[in-house]
Amino acid sequence: MLKKSLFVLFLTAFGGLHAQQTFSLEQAIDYALKNNLELKTKDVAERDAVSQIREFKAIGLPKLNSFINYQYFFAVPAQPLQDFISPTIYNVLFDENVIPRRELGPPASFKFTLFQPHQLVAGAELSSMVFDGSYLYGVKAAKLYKELVAAEKAVTERDIRQKITQAYLGVLIAQENLSILEKNKSNVAASLKEVRAMYQNGFAEQLDVDRLTLSADNIDIEIKRMKQLTEVSKNALKFQMNFPLLQPISLSDNLTDLTNIPLETSLINESEYVGQRPEMQVISKGLELNNIDLSRIKAGYLPTVRAFVNGQASLFRRNLFSNQETGFIPQSAVGLAINVPIYDGGDKSAKIQRTRLNIEKANLEKETFEKATLMEIRNSSSALANAREVVTARQNALKISQGIYEKTLIKFREGVGSSVEVIQAEASLYQAQSVYINAVYDLLTAYTDFQKAIGKI
């Protein structure tokens, strides 16, 4: 019983891993936004930007450092000095006639040192930035960089939405074509059955049977090709979603629902939509960063001020562990360190010039993008309106082709039409169906492009 239970549990778990999942277009987009590897990389970059802000802010916060230094001089530093004591003593003795006067030789020299073999110094220092203009602008730049990363992430999200939408539509189109082919196969099979019965009763020729048989075979070939194309389209969608390729997937939306899109494409103020594009946010943030960088470089001409307070104790001994010698000698100080830049060889001037050129280039890129976006909005709006009209025309043509095929089939069954007319009407119907499906795909693609142009996707 235990083994059977474990086996059933395993099958349940294994089956759950490979259970087919159904996605609407919005669900597919949400899944991709949560699992897309490129977007995960952007999430890491966004978290890294937050860490950079903390790292840069830490530069201006107070810092406390301590130290312990020990040195042993196995050769004690010494200073050579001339013997100035002996000549003085001899001169006094000569003057007091204590000893007879005589000529003194050159003064001797000896080694003099203030060092002890053992030196131990311990202390601590608290320092803090008081003023640094470059630091203040640097903090602003770090915060703005985080916003720039978020804007780049928004561009990536938009691109993912567009890719998922296109891949999702590709699957729907393939499925719709497959559905139409299977319906046509059923119709041809019924017609072929009727013709064979008519042929057996002497009301049709073998040629009529052969033509419909060839038509049925061609549809079978197209069905196999479309099934393969549907599978390839699903794999492309899974790849864009970062969905397991071996796990089956199905779509809940259909072309009828997605083609119910607004007909109104005229925009009152197209310029307002330019600012809604995520690319514009990236360009604007980049321009702001260049302006802040310019101010940061200029602030480098200002003095910087740092405050500090420190204390230390020093121990100098001939014998480190002797209690007979002098103990620790304390020392402490408080002060300000002011650094005034005077001349840097033209480094800041060159950086300012380059930053101004970057700002000029960014403004040109912004202007170019605005014009290109306005053109994209107008073109996509016109393309969407035209695609809608084409769909309506193709839909009417499909209805006409369907009617012609049905009438031709009736005439053939009544013996007043030929199989050639049936095959021709059938080919026209298939072509009309294919053209209509392609028109629907063009409409949905045009709508996606229009939504992207106005920053709504």
Is residue 306 within 8 Å of 337, Cβ to Cβ? yes
Q: Which residues contact 447 (CB under 8 A, 6 or more apart)?
A: 261, 384, 387
Among 70, 169, 186, which Cα is nearest to 121's? 70
Domains of the chain: 30-61+147-302+347-457 (1.20.1600.10), 79-112 (no CATH)
Which residues are within 8 A (CB) of 132 and not within 5 positions of it... i.e. 6 or more apart? 60, 299, 304, 305
Beta strands per DSSP E along 31-77:
63-72
Among 82-91, 165-174, 292-301, 344-353, the minimum mean pLDDT is found in: 82-91
Average pLDDT of the chain is 85
Instruction: Report residue 291's pLDDT band, with 50, 70 and 90 as the boundaries.
Output: very high
Average pLDDT over residues 97-114: 70
pLDDT in tens, 253-267: 888 777 776 655 555
Identify which of 168, 191, 172 has the alpha carbon closest to the alpha carbon of residue 180. Answer: 172
pTM of the model: 0.76
Choice among 20-24, 88-92, 382-386, 426-430 with the minimum mean pLDDT: 88-92
Q: Which residue type is seen at 204?
A: A
- What backbone torsions phi and psi does residue 127 show, to the nearest 5 degrees? -130, 155
- What is the CB neighbour count within 10 angstroms for residue 264? 8
- pLDDT tens sequence across 343-388: 888 999 999 999 999 999 999 999 999 999 999 998 998 999 899 8
Tokens of 279: 């690319």
Q: What is the C-alpha to C-alpha distance for residues 189 and 173, in angstroms, rounded to an integer?
A: 24
91, 414, 448 from 230: Cα distances, Å:
119, 39, 21
Tell how strand 118-131 and strand 109-112 pair up: unpaired
Given a cut of 60, whether residue 244 has pLDDT beyond it is yes
